[in-house]
Amino acid sequence: MSIRVFNADDHPMLCKGITDLLVETAGLEWAGSAADGREALEKIRQLVPDVALLDIEMPHLTGLEVAKTLIAEGITTRFVLLTLYKDEALLNNAIEMGIKGYLLKESSEKEILDCIHAVHSGQAYVNASLTQYLIRHRMQENNILSQLSEREIDILKLIAMQKSTAEIAGMMFISPKTVSSHRTNISKKLNLPGEQNGLLKWALGNRELLLRGGGGK
């Protein structure tokens, strides 16, 4: 039996390209398409395809929102997200929601087809270029934290939790002056500009990295 595949993308050429691929591939059946998130939500509810390929960035509803809504409703369709972005947080969010496939729009036709077959069989699929990027990105993150002492990382975690210098001093049983000194040293090690709240902005931007752990010297 053919795998029934639905696709949604607000870019007509990209949508047509995947539609043509589905129509021309033996063992697959094109189940329909949509040009925005709201239309995708309604059509997938009606058609219940085996697999749905969804662009993340679409008008009205994102691909992530469409998948989240339908998964919560208990639909049997398995989902693949297509994106331009190499975003670890987005990938983790998708995986936690139960989305099995995650493809970059630069993916080859073979990768798209491999992903459809893998996801249909219940396996997870992330294309190789994204996997390699995430590995390099994680290594770079770990290299950044390796420059810092354990105390400096602890202070950074508290900054990421938006604690003030006085609050950090009280929690760590050190003086506010010592905290300020640590903040200056951390900023130098991270090559941060001297702008006001530069360290706070960095800590908030890397909050997930800091709060999931990481060791210092």
Q: Which residues of 133-158 are buried (b: 16+ CB within 10 A; e: fewer)?
A: ebeeeeeebeebbeebeeebbbbbbb
* Model confidence pLDDT, tens digit, residues 57-112: 899 999 989 999 999 999 999 999 888 766 666 666 777 777 888 888 878 899 89
Give the model's pLDDT for residue 135.
43
pLDDT greater than 60 at residue 204: yes
Q: Which residue would you say has higher pLDDT here, 87 or 12?
A: 12
Asked if CATH classification 1.20.120.10 holds for the domain at 147-211, the reply, yes or no, is no
Choose between 138 and 156: higher pLDDT: 156
**Mean pLDDT of all residues in 129-142:** 51
Q: In the prediction, which pLDDT does 149 show?
A: 85
Q: Enter the CATH code of domain 3-131.
A: 3.40.50.2300
Q: Where in the chain is the domain with CATH 1.10.10.10?
A: 147-211
- Between 141 and 197, residue with greater pLDDT: 197
